[in-house]
Structure 1
Amino acid sequence: MASRGRLGGAPAREDEPRRDERAEQHAPAPQGPVLPPPPPVYYGVFMQGLVQAMQTQAHTQAALQAQLETQLDCLDGAYERCIAGKS
C-alpha cells in the first residue's frame, strides 16, 4: 500500500503546516457584527402563509380581470351599457 505524500512523492515535514491548516489561517475575518442565527422556520406555518398568499393573489387577479373587462366594454362602443351599469 502506498503512503500519501506530496505531489513530488516527498512526504510533508512535521514542522510545515498542512494545506488545510494553512487555509484556515488565511481565512478572512468576518466584517461587522456577528448576528445570531435566524429563528427556526416551522413548515406548517410557512405553508399556511403560502396558501393564504396564493388565495389572495387569485382573488386580486379575478377582481382586476373583471375590472379590465368592464373597461374594455366601455372602449368597445358599449358605452350605453357602461353608463347604465354605473348609475
Structure 2
Amino acid sequence: MQTQAQMQAALHAQLQAQAQALASVPQEYGHGGQSIMERFKRMATPSFKGESQPLLAES
C-alpha cells in the first residue's frame, strides 16, 4: 500500500512538472508566426484508409 502511494505521488509530481514545462513553451514560434499545428496541417501527411491487403495498405 505504501509503495503504491509513493508511486502515485511520484507520478503526480512528474505530471505537474510536465504541465508546468508545457505551459512555459510559447504557443507560436518564429517561423512566420505559424503554430506547430498549422505547420503540421500544411504537411498534408498521408492517411490510412483501412485496406486489409498488406500491399495496398503499405502503398
TM-score (norm 2): 0.47
Structure having the higher Rg? 1
TM-score (norm 1): 0.33
Higher RCO (Cα < 8 Å, 6 or more apart) = 2
